[in-house]
Amino acid sequence: MFNMSLVMSIRGRFRVVGAVTAALALSFLPAGQASAADVNNARNAGFESGLSNWTCSANSGTTVSSPVHGGTTALKATPAGQDNARCSQTVAVKPNSSYTLSAWVRGGYSYLGVTGTGTTDVSTWTPDSTAWKQLSTTFTTGAATTSVTVYTHGWYGQAAYYADDVSVFGPDGGGGTDPSPTIPGAPSGLSVSGTSSSSVSLAWNTVSGATGYHVYRNGTKVTAVTGTSATVTGLAASTSYSFQVTATNAAGESPKSAAVTGTTTAGPVGPALPKHAVTGYWQNFNNGATVQKLADVQSQYDIIAVAFADATSTPGAVTFNLDSAGLGGYTVDQFKADIRAKQAAGKKVIVSVGGERGTVTVNDSASATNFANSVYALMREYGFDGVDIDLENGLNATYMTQALRSLSAKAGSSLIITMAPQTIDMQSTSNSYFQTALNIKDILTVVNMQYYNSGSMLGCDGKVYSQGSVDFLTALACIQLEGGLAPSQVGLGLPASTRGAGSGYVSPTIVNNALDCLARGTNCGSFKPSRTYPDLRGAMTWSTNWDATAGNAWSNAVGPHVHALP
């Protein structure tokens, strides 16, 4: 929540646009009906034999054991600045024949295509995907075509992509094929990984040869997934259910697994957040600001973000250590009791992850799982209502999205998720922070961008604005408001005093004027939004402690103003 070095650069991402535009002309075609003689003409289609039969440009490809769609391995290909990580295979085909080309992909931009058809070469693509997604298209070979080249690739400088279970399905071209699948065995290790008042999350072991799984609730199929976990939603609170899972592939469906019982929790308790809310960070350390117990936090704050959770030696996992010594002997039992008291008064208390010196990294599926499990454990131990994401050293949109969705599946609909990105993180929807916010828009509470320690920035009108003005707040908020976030998910983050941040402090009057400009269309500066946003969520400050040091001037002025917004 403190300092950052402003680095603004215009990247060559716009070259993606041409490829995307061209690809949009292609449709995602469903796989055609197979005849008895049709086969998958691709070799090593599931990458079970490493990269045998495949060639990847610039040594960009490798095989990995996780994540996989089917079997035990999948392709991982990582583009570079001048390479798109193209992996290809020459496939024998019959002339004058129709084929369906398909593959399962996830991760960064993923393309699937074929060349050398003798007719029309085709391709299809998908943008970033956090889950396995099937790409499919069809092609016809020419009169003299006996082989084609099928390929996958990503996009220059973008995230790695994964591919698995490639298929060139059609008449046997005579070049050989992978063995036909057999019905997989029943899944083992089925367990309940999380519950909420309306959902039960399940996990199980990978089944060799499976391409998907069916989940049964009380004997009735309720969902189908490609991974080894699922969340069954729409359940009644405080109710027990029996679950089983089967494994599937082209050969059929396995017997059901052993059953497990999952019991939903009681329904959410306590009042919901008010329409307009004030967020304040509470310092779990003494840096010269007023030392507070949680019970001392001013009543104007609706969301109290406890700063901060600590990284552990396990990638992605966090813990919380109350600084009892620094806080004058404040005990864990007192802290937990104060959380319950604040909640009884209608407040939400969440744990913040990150800060200027935060070292938590979530950059793969394992660390995403560790993050979700550890945060949920803290929620259950201390009673936190949710989590705040304040990672100021970068985040991975794909895996942070995965982590927060996993946490949501465990905690349920009452989960509070807030974010505190720096101004540079929200300049464009292509930035990882902005992508993450949009990816979880259905479960996101509020993004309180830090309008401080940033220097000059672009507003939504393309003009440059400097810190310290109404225009800086409103023109930068406009980017979020017009970039896909709901007004109720946008808050203005400001220091509580000149000591709260190195730069960017503005008087509470400026904060209130910006709120009025955005919500009512009044008290604007030279920039005036094209419309008003009466559902604007409110404001945030660093910190309740610095606010107390300054005589609570910030919360006494901004708090009532936020709560009086239309």
Residues involved in catalysis:
392
SS3 500: coil
How many C-beta atoms lie closer than 10 Å to residue 351's C-beta? 22
**Helix (H) or strand (E) segment spanning residue 356:** none
How many C-beta atoms lie closer than 10 Å to residue 377's C-beta? 15
DSSP bridge pairs for 221 = 216
SS3 264: coil
Contacts of residue 359, defined as CB under 8 A and 6 or more positions apart, other chains included, come to: 311, 393
Q: How many helices (H) and strands (E) does the chain have?
A: 9, 30
Contact between 382 and 351 (Cβ < 8 Å): yes
Q: 451: which DSSP letter?
A: -
The strand pair at 538-542 and 277-283 is best described as parallel
The strand pair at 318-319 and 252-253 is best described as unpaired
Compute the distance between CA of residue 547 and CA of residue 296 in angstroms, rounded to an integer: 12
Q: What are phi and psi of 164, to 5 degrees?
A: -160, 160
Structural tokens at position 165: 């279970």
Give the sheet arrangement for strand 147-153, strand by strand: 55-56, 87-92, 147-153, 110-115, 122-126
How many C-beta atoms lie closer than 10 Å to residue 357's C-beta? 10
Is residue 382 left, alpha or beta, with left meaning phi > 0 and alpha meaning psi from -120 to 50? alpha
DSSP codes, 16-66: HHHHHHHHHTS--PPPPPPPTTEEE--SSTT-TTTTTT-EEGGG-EEEESS
Compute the distance between CA of residue 512 and CA of residue 518 in angstroms, rounded to an integer: 10
Compute the distance between CA of residue 9 and CA of residue 7 in angstroms, rounded to an integer: 7
DSSP codes, 84-132: ---EEEEEE--TT-EEEEEEEEEES-EEEEEE--SS--EEEEE--EEEE
Please choose, from the candidates 130, 107, 201, the residue with its C-alpha nearest in 3D space to the C-alpha of residue 401.
130
Torsion over CA: 402, 406, 407, 409 (sign): positive
Residue type, 437: A
**Helix (H) or strand (E) segment spanning residue 267:** none
DSSP bridge pairs for 388 = 352, 418
Largest CA distance in the chain: 85
